Homo-oligomer: A and B are copies of this chain.
Amino acid sequence: MAQRPTIKTIAKETGLSTATVSKALNASPQVRPRTRDKVLQAAKELGYELNISGVQLRTGKTYQIAMITVIASPDDDEWAGVGYTQLISGISRAIEHTPYRVVQHQVASFDDSFEVIKRIVQNKKADGIIISGTRANDPRISFMQEQDFPFVTYGTSDASAPHAFVDTDNRRIVTICVERLLSKGHRRIAMINAREELNYTQNRIEAYKAALSKAGQTFDPSLLAYGRLTPAFGREQLFEMSMFDEPPTAYICANEATAMGVLSGFQVRGMEHGRDAVVIATDDLNVSQYFSPPITTCYLPISKPSETLGKFMLDLIGGEDPINLQKLFVPDLIERGADTCNLERQ
Contacts and interface: CB of A to CB of B under 8 A. Distances in A.
Interface stretch (A50-58, A153-161, A217-225): A50-58
Interface in A292-336: 292-294, 301-303, 307
Interface string A209-237: 00000000000000000000001100100
A92 interface: yes
A282 to B, nearest CB: 15
Interface string A280-298: 0000011101111110000
A292 to B, nearest CB: 4
A18 interface: no
Q: How many copies does the complex hold?
A: 2
Give chain A's interface residue range (CB within 8 Å of chain B): 35 or more
Interface stretch (A28-36, A81-89, A171-179, A180-188): A81-89
Contacts of A53: 52-53, 56-57, 62
Given A57-B54, A104-B101, A287 B303 contact: no
Nearest to A81: B79
B286 A78 contact: yes
A86 B90 contact: no
A77 interface: yes
Contacts of A92: 69, 104-106
A119 interface: yes
Interface string A119-151: 100111000000000000000000000000000
Contacts of A84: 85, 88-89
A101 to B, nearest CB: 5
30 contacts: A49-B123, A51-B123, A53-B53, A56-B56, A69-B85, A69-B92, A74-B301, A74-B307, A77-B303, A78-B287, A79-B285, A79-B286, A83-B85, A83-B86, A84-B85, A89-B106, A92-B105, A96-B106, A101-B103, A102-B103, A103-B103, A103-B104, A104-B104, A231-B287, A257-B287, A260-B287, A263-B290, A263-B292, A264-B290, A267-B293
Closest 9 CB pairs of A and B: A83-B85, A74-B303, A92-B106, A53-B56, A85-B85, A231-B290, A264-B290, A79-B285, A267-B292
